[in-house]
Amino acid sequence: MSTDELRASRARFLEFARDFVPYVVAERDGLLFVIPTDDPTLGKLFVRREKHKERSVLLRALELLPDLRRGTFVDVGANVGTAALAALGAGFERVIAIEPVSRTFRLLRANLALNDAEDVVRPLRLALSDESGTMRIDVAAGLRKARLDATGGEEVEVARLDDVVDGEADFLLVDAEGHEVQVLAGGQRVLSTGVPLVLELNPKLLELAGRIGELPAVLAQHYTHVLDLRDRGGEFVPVAEVARLTEEYRGRSTDLLACRRA
């Protein structure tokens, strides 16, 4: 059976299963994931055979940081745990997995249990921003597209990155659906160490969150260079190039690795 035929077969199964069960279990890269049958975006973990994006992005970043200490991995926007579990597979000793959506958080905890990771991953049901309090999170576009929105959705507790990370982090992954600037602004202590950072660059979502223009300056406070992880032939460029990359990726998205270089 070809790859396309296998995808089509799995898609038909998922559609059929939707009428009978709320979840299925998918195996990817030797890991098990509980997948909701009514969420087509998460369903891709089951339908597609290729490696998931979070794992590929993480491994690409680690290739570029061969001497990185692999102690604590912080996953902001952990979703169902794909990146958290990939980090353990890459040799990190412990993970802080932060996910605000209640239904997704339940799936995250289930996936940690299925993969015997409960003792080394600390899940936190929180949204991160530059101020603590409460906000509402909009899940209308699906669990993987949940976005902080002051007007609708379920209420969620909000904290600052500096308040939830004790001690030094060794790697930081931020995928906050456009709220990345606020997350970084609330993590001045954590970022001051120059901890390597991967963040999603999605200009459309950053504009919706209202602070896209601040991203270059926020990164420049703590980092010297960035690299476009979707460009396999890309090289590190000065952090000032973030403004250019933001314009280049309008209408699409990428992931940036930010770090300090001599």
- Nearest Cα to Cα of residue 215 among 237, 178, 242, 175: 242
| pLDDT tens per residue, range 49-103 | 545 677 788 989 999 999 999 999 999 999 999 999 999 999 999 999 999 999 9
Percent of the chain with pLDDT over 70: 91
Q: How confident is the model at residue 151 (pLDDT cuts 50, 70, 90)?
A: low
pLDDT at 47: 67
**3-state secondary structure at position 181:** helix
pLDDT at 143: 45
DSSP β-ladder status, 237-238 and 225-228: antiparallel
Encode 215-241 in three state secondary structure.
Answer: HHHHHHCCCCEEEECCCCCCCCEEHHH
Phi first, then psi: give them for residue 133, nearest 5 degrees.
Answer: 150, -140
- Per the DSSP assignment, residues forming a β-bridge with 256 are 199, 228
Rounded distance between C-alpha atoms, residue 59 and residue 74, angstroms: 15
List the helix and strand counts (H, then E) for the chain: 11, 14
Give the number of other CB atoms < 10 A from CB of residue 147.
17
Q: What mean pLDDT value characterizes the chain? A: 88
pTM over 0.85: yes
Structure tokens at 256: 């940036």
Residue 209's Cβ-side half-sphere holds a number of Cα atoms within 13 Å equal to: 26
Q: Domains in the chain and their CATH numbers?
A: 1-50 (no CATH), 51-259 (3.40.50.150)
**3-state secondary structure at position 119:** coil
- Per the DSSP assignment, residues forming a β-bridge with 155 are 136
74, 96 contact by CB (below 8 A): yes
